[in-house]
Amino acid sequence: MRHWLLFAALLPCQLAVAQAGATLPPHTILPALPVASLQPTNSTTAVRSAAGVRYQYQLVHLDNRIIWLAPAWRGQTKREASRRLFNSNEVGELDGLLLKIINELSADGWELLEIQASTMPVEATQKIETELPFNDPTRPVYKGTTSIVTSSETRYLFRKAVVN
């Protein structure tokens, strides 16, 4: 009977501690994200062209697990990794395909003219998590995290002198 009375007496205290941990004190609000972290970035590496020479161009664009070729090169407009239900090596296959295409273009006399890489923030999430330490459950520990999801793409531009 004593255990039951002790449990009944402690139950309201445990509920009060749990409710107190659910409210956040004002000093735990996360600061606003820095503006620089939400800005898109774009970097381009370019090579000078020779005066009086006409060129034809080939674009290789890696976007969302597909390698696009514009205009079509050797009859192909896109290359992608093998589609299997669980392809754990998809990223490695894409890298291999991309390097194979770049090497084949170079072997055919195409010159790498420009590499353009761009990154665009898509989503930012901030959250505060509460942990109750075992030694003092009345003073919870607050942990704030910020995560930014970005989308990135890379384009490779090749050129080849047109023979008259």
Quickly list DSSP for 112-163. EEEEEEEEEEEEEEEEEEEE--SS-TTS-EEEEEEEEEEEEEEEEEEEEEPP
pLDDT given at position 1: 47
72 lies in a domain? Answer: yes
The verdict on residue 16 lying in a domain is: no
CB 42 within 8 A of CB 116: yes
Q: Is residue 55 assigned to a domain? A: yes
pTM to 2 decimals?
A: 0.59
Domain for residue 120, yes or no? yes
- Asked if residue 134 is part of any domain, the answer here is yes
Contact 157, 59 (CB under 8 A): yes
Task: Report the amino acid identity of residue 12.
Answer: P
> Is residue 9 domain-resident?
no
Number of domain units in the chain: 1
Q: Are 69 and 58 in contact (CB under 8 A)?
A: yes
Domain span including residue 89: 22-161
- Residues 2, 8: Cα–Cα separation, whole Å: 10
Rounded to an integer, what is the distance from CA 130 to the centroid of its chain? 27
- Angle (CA) 152-158-162 rounded to 5° is 155
Alpha carbon 129 to its chain's center: 23
Mean pLDDT, the chain cut into blocks of 10 residues (164 residues total): 46 45 54 69 71 85 85 86 75 87 91 86 86 79 85 87 80
User: Per the domain annotation, does 75 fall within a domain?
Assistant: yes
Tens-place pLDDT, residues 98-127: 999 999 999 999 988 888 888 888 888 888
In the prediction, which pLDDT does 47 show? Answer: 67
Question: Does any domain span residue 10?
Answer: no
